[in-house]
Chain A
Amino acid sequence: MKNANQPQYDKLEKLLTKARLPEPSPELKERITAETTRIWKQSSGPYRGGFPLSICPPNQGLLCWLSGLPFAPVATACPIAGR
Chain B
Amino acid sequence: MNENPADNVLRTALAGNDPKAVDLLWERYAKDLLAYLQAILCSLHDAEDVLQMVFVRIVRRRHQLAKARCLDAYIFRIARNEALRLIGRRKSDSTAKNTSDPWLIKSESNSDLQDLVDSLQMALARLPQTQREVIVMKTYRHKTFLEIARLLGLSQNTVASRYRYGMEKLRILLENLI
Contacts of B144 in A (CB 8 A): 3
Complex CA gap A31/B144 in Å reads 31
Contacts A17-B139, A49-B63 given; indicate if A12 touches B34 (C-beta within 8 A).
Answer: no
Q: Is B87 an interface residue (CB 8 A)?
A: no
For chain B, which range describes its interface: under 10, 10 to 19, 20 to 34, or 35 or more residues?
A: 35 or more
Contact B44 A22 (CB under 8 A): yes
Contact B121 A19 (CB under 8 A): yes
Contact with A along B24-44 (1 / 0, CB 8 A): 001000110011001000001
A46 (CB) vs chain B CBs: closest residue: B17
Contacts of B167 in A (CB 8 A): 6, 9, 12
Contact with A along B134-178 (1 / 0, CB 8 A): 011001110011100000000011001001100100110010011
Contacts A16-B120, A24-B30, A41-B19 given; indicate if A36 touches B56 (C-beta within 8 A).
Answer: yes
Q: How many A-B residue pairs have CB under 8 A?
A: 116
Contacts of B120 in A (CB 8 A): 15-16, 18-19
Task: Give the residue of B51, B58, B63 whose beta carbon is less than 8 angstroms from that of A47.
Answer: B63
Complex CA gap A33/B117 in Å reads 31
Contacts of A9 in B (CB 8 A): 167, 171
Complex CA gap A36/B22 in Å reads 7
Contacts A6-B164, A44-B17 given; indicate if A20 touches B22 (C-beta within 8 A).
Answer: no
Mark out the residues of chain B between 35 and 61 whose CB falls within 8 Å of any chain A CB in the assembled complex. Answer: 35, 38, 44, 48, 51-52, 55-56, 58-60
Mark out the residues of chain B between 64 and 108 whose CB falls within 8 Å of any chain A CB in the assembled complex. Answer: 103-108
CB-CB nearest 10 A-B residue pairs = A19-B104, A2-B156, A20-B107, A19-B117, A36-B55, A21-B140, A36-B59, A24-B30, A9-B167, A47-B63
* B interface residues (Cβ-Cβ under 8 A, vs A): 17, 19, 21-23, 26, 30-31, 34-35, 38, 44, 48, 51-52, 55-56, 58-60, 62-63, 103-108, 113, 116-117, 120-121, 135-136, 139-141, 144-146, 156-157, 160, 163-164, 167, 170-171, 174, 177-178
* A interface residues (Cβ-Cβ under 8 A, vs B): 1-3, 6, 9, 11-13, 15-24, 28-29, 31-33, 35-37, 39-41, 43-44, 47, 49
